[in-house]
Amino acid sequence: MAHEVAPSTERVSILDRLNYVVENSVVGKYFCIKERKTTFTTELRAGTVTFLTMAYILAVNGSILADTGGPCTVDDCSVNKGQPFCMFGSGGKFDAGYVACVAKAKRSMVTATAVASFVACVLMGVVGNLPFGLAPGMGINAYFTYTVVGFFGSNGMISYRDALAAAFIEGWIFLAISITGLRTKITTIVPKCVMLATSGGIGLFLAFIGLQTANGIGLISFESATLVTLGGCRVQDRAPMYTIADTSKVCSLEKDGTLAPANLGPASPNYACINNMRMRSASMWLGIMGGVLMVLLMARGFRGAIVIAILFVTFISWIPGHEATFLGAESQIPGGADRRQYFKKVVQRPDTSFTDLEMDFKAFGTTELWTALITFLYLDLLDCTGTFFSMANYINKRVPGFIHPITKDFPRMTFAFCVDACSIWIGALLGIAPLTVYIESATGIREGGRTGITAIMIGFYFFISMFFTPIISSIPPYATGPALILVGALMMENILDIDWKDYQQAIPAFLTIAVIPLTYSIAYGIIAGICSYLLLYLLLLAYDLLTAPIYRKSFKEILLDAKPEAFKSYDVLEAEELARNKARVEALERELELTNTTILHATSSIHDKGVAKVAAAAASAAGTEQVRSAETKPNEAAV
């Protein structure tokens, strides 16, 4: 009689069933959920985490780009209409009519940021199938505003409309570079040690951002002597920083001969603590608490640890009446009262009509426009490509084989590059600075994001934020700052693959890691790494050629050994990679053998000591017995 198999008593949750259905569906196979060792719900959670760490861009990007004045001109001034510099008003106050126009432009730019990010993220998910979030770049938007256009369009290279035209054309050039494979070729030309070091540099960059006040917990602040120092002081103990190009224009006289208020321009978000009352900011300590909670939850394997910690800090910061609040006059971050009023709106109708399609192509005959265009191009080329490879390498740590060890490419790389390029001119059409892949994507990857579903989820949140911008933009920076610090720390694992014993790799790698956070630019770090690598390569090659007769080596042998990887055939690269892996395995085996020998020696020593101790104890016992026997015999004789 056949035995019936007892039904399984293990209960399957609804989420597990959902994951199973999606994994085996057409959607799951398209996004390679099973191959990348993830689940549908994990991807959704990763998208949520990434968006929460990127959400600050909605408010920050609009604030930065609004300093250009947008499409506002001198014709929008209420006083001295049409006169140059009428927007700066008099008595230290900006012209009311121009300020009203800028406020309208800012609202349009905030919505445009959400729209452009939504489109770019969805395209990255569907076409590129990568868990990367895209939004206007924080470095390039500042360059766009304060260098290319200038504050309220003054002292800049070109106008706001001209800058948008330059960004639009740059996006199409970038797309052509991506389609032709030139951008892919760059990943093979750049030395491997520099690309690996870029991941570590971005990790430090993320941590540096998370430690500042503008986008982090505010633990570090400005110091005139050492540049940075320990911060965390309260608002009343801070001195704001100003950038003054011409000090002769700071002080001026009114028409009646009295001294006019100082013309300092906009204050920097950075500050200096004017006394020793540091580490007193309530918002900083709330952010630190969120970071501790995040680490504790992750250490105990809680899913969604980053989301839980961010929401914990956010909900507390929305409670009014205490110094750690983000909304209200008590906030340690200036503008709390305005944020509270904006927060109360909850919902707003998305409208980008004030800034979209504002490009002007009449200035393409000027040197200034082409200078801005070329600068945009090389910043995007190095910055975006470095970020792409770093994020892909971060995935490769969790899904081995994601990056090809020889060609250094990853699935759908060219498609992803094309999406990244298209996002640039999409932003220009909407009136904002170029978009780029965000290094905050590493938070979602750390949470388990592996496919384009994560990017689509990020895009979904940006779509929702078009209508709920007052809520989304009220997430405080000290809620997301700890996530940036934590992910930055975890990204340092990428530098373990660098051969630190080889100075030709170690020095360029270190310069790349150091320059990225200290210059606030991924592009500058990559340039420093490449230049230092080339310098060492050429100097060492010259030395080897000059000393060839001494070491009895032929010039052909030296040149073959020094041949760059970009010019080697696939077979040669494969052989070298196999040789490196074999050498790495042999080194590990030698280390393991040495460790085993040490353990055996230690065990043998312990055993010998134990045997000696037992022998000594036995000898001592035997001696004691002999003494007792000797004492007993006289007694027996006496009896």
Do residues 420 and 436 make contact, with C-beta atoms less than 8 angstroms apart? yes
**pLDDT the model gives residue 508:** 92
The per-residue pLDDT for 4 is 47
* Of the candidates 432, 491, 410, the residue with the CA atom closest to the CA atom of residue 199: 491
Q: Please tell me the predicted confidence (pLDDT) of residue 629.
A: 61
Distances (CA, A) of 207 to 29, 195, 516, 518: 36, 19, 12, 12
Q: What's the CA gap between 297 and 281, in Å, rounded?
A: 25
Tell the residue number behind the tokens 């991506």, with chain if given. 178
Reduced to 3 states, what is the DSSP secondary structure of residue 349?
A: coil
Assess contact for 42 and 449: CB atoms under 8 A: yes
Question: Which residues touch 525 (CB under 8 Å, ≥6 apart)?
Answer: 198, 201, 386, 511, 512, 513, 514, 515, 516, 519
C-alpha angle with apex 309: 234 to 328, nearest 5 degrees?
A: 40
For 220, list phi and psi in degrees, rounded to 5: -115, 155
d(CA 143, CA 208): 19
pLDDT score recorded for residue 456: 92
Q: What local confidence, expressed as pLDDT, does residue 510 receive? A: 93
CA–CA distance, 153 with 84 (Å, rounded to integer): 11
Residue 626 has what pLDDT? 63
**pLDDT tens digits, 139-182:** 677 677 766 777 777 777 778 888 888 888 888 888 888 888 77
259 forms beta bridges with: 253
Instruction: Output the pLDDT for position 535.
Output: 92
Q: Is 568 helix (H, G, I), strand (E, B) or coil?
A: coil
Interaxial angle between packed helices 160-179 and 367-398, expressed in degrees from 0 to 180 and rounded to the nearest 10: 50
Which residue ranges of the chain lie beneath pLDDT 50? 1-9, 638-639
What is the reported pLDDT for 6? 47
Please give the full DSSP string across 180-238, using - where no structure is assigned. Answer: TTHHHHHHHHS-HHHHHHHHHHHHHHHHHHHHSSSSS---EEEETTTEEEE----GGGE
Residues counted in the chain: 639
DSSP type of residue 7: P
List CB contacts of 584: < 8 A, sequence separation 6 or more: none
- pLDDT for the residue 249: 67
**Residue 337: predicted pLDDT:** 77
